[in-house]
Structure 1
Amino acid sequence: MGVITDHLDLWGQALSGTLVLFFGGGLIAVVLGFIVGAARVSPVPIARAVGTVYVNWIRNTPLTLVMFFFAFCLPIILGERVNALTLAVCALGVYTATYVAETLRSGINTVPVGQAEAARAIGLSFTQVMRYVVLPQAARSVIPPLMSVLIALLKNTTVAAGFSVLNLGSIRSWLSEQGENQLVVLLWVMAIFVVLVLVLGRLQSKLEETWRIAR
């Protein structure tokens, strides 16, 4: 326990960094993922094309390269320095949004086509059909795979450690410089991640129970 109690402030900052990366990246991923997922099934060819290119391009690019672009290339394009944590949050959100979009698209495909056609028949626009008929049902059916995506996002936050962002993935190197046993530090980091994943798993169970679809 001395590894934690002797460096409580550092552990607090590292955990805070991980949570900021997770919640910030998760918010961007869910919002952007829903938009891209809707574009992927849109009747507008340009929207489908843009969604397809975005998903195939970003999803097939390693997260490290996406993070590298945000950390080093984007500030040059913008012509100004940007906080490393902010850039890492954006990179994680943009990358994870592709998986959210594909998860949502698979959920949309589970909604009977007849429901969308009936909604269009009574005069609803595509946006209204997606908002009131398709997306609410799709969101319920994709809870388990979506939570898996968020769990993957939580673990991917450690990649930001290589880009000067303090989080649980980088605390080992900080404490090793102060003479702490690296193996002990890694075991504590693993234990914290296990607890965080268990919390997400519990949240998934609650959501499934609350939004269970009657069959």
Structure 2
Amino acid sequence: MLMDKPFSPACARNAEPILAILRERLVGRDTVLEIGSGTGQHAVHFAAALPWLQWQSSDRAEHLPGIRLWLDEAALANTLPPLALDVDGAWPTTRYDAVFSANTLHILAWPSVQQLFAKLPTVLAPGGLLIVYGPFNYAGHFTSPSNAAFDAALKAQDPAMGIRDFEAVFELAEAAGLRLLEDHAMPANNRCLVWQAAA
């Protein structure tokens, strides 16, 4: 039985605002590892718009067939076959100029978020960028009623999920040797955070 391409309305909505930041930050970069590619929509959208980049999508093995459908249909020269990557398992041995991840930190359990940041130094090239998109709390507070409702919905699905505190994530990034460059306000009460590894 043929599967339909997976589709995320959120990906369709946020792709252009995220692209505006990637287009500026990823000039002069060659390779990007996307962690948690989900449906594969972002990989196709961003790789098409940023043809100088080699885009490496990745996700847990069960999501790879859907990602392949998007990549195969787009047939872009600068997308690689998706990698199986569980942040708690084995990581690639390649180094990348940038790592991008959207809407993952609130889905992963906190120990997995810690593991993700602990592993980043093994895949980021010197001076490499980490770009993370999603909702965050600041000083322990939700930034909007809609984010509070979203957090409650996540925790009802799985108590290990939830919107993360910016300060806690900042500490993990600092421990991984990353320096925060930018914190962008994004539509729908999301943020786009840009860190850089030491050169």
Measured against the shorter chain, the TM-score band is: under 0.3
- The structure whose Rg is larger is 1
Higher helix share: 1
TM-score by length of 1: 0.22
Instruction: Determine which structure has the larger strand proportion and give its number.
Output: 2
Q: TM-score, normalised by structure 2?
A: 0.23
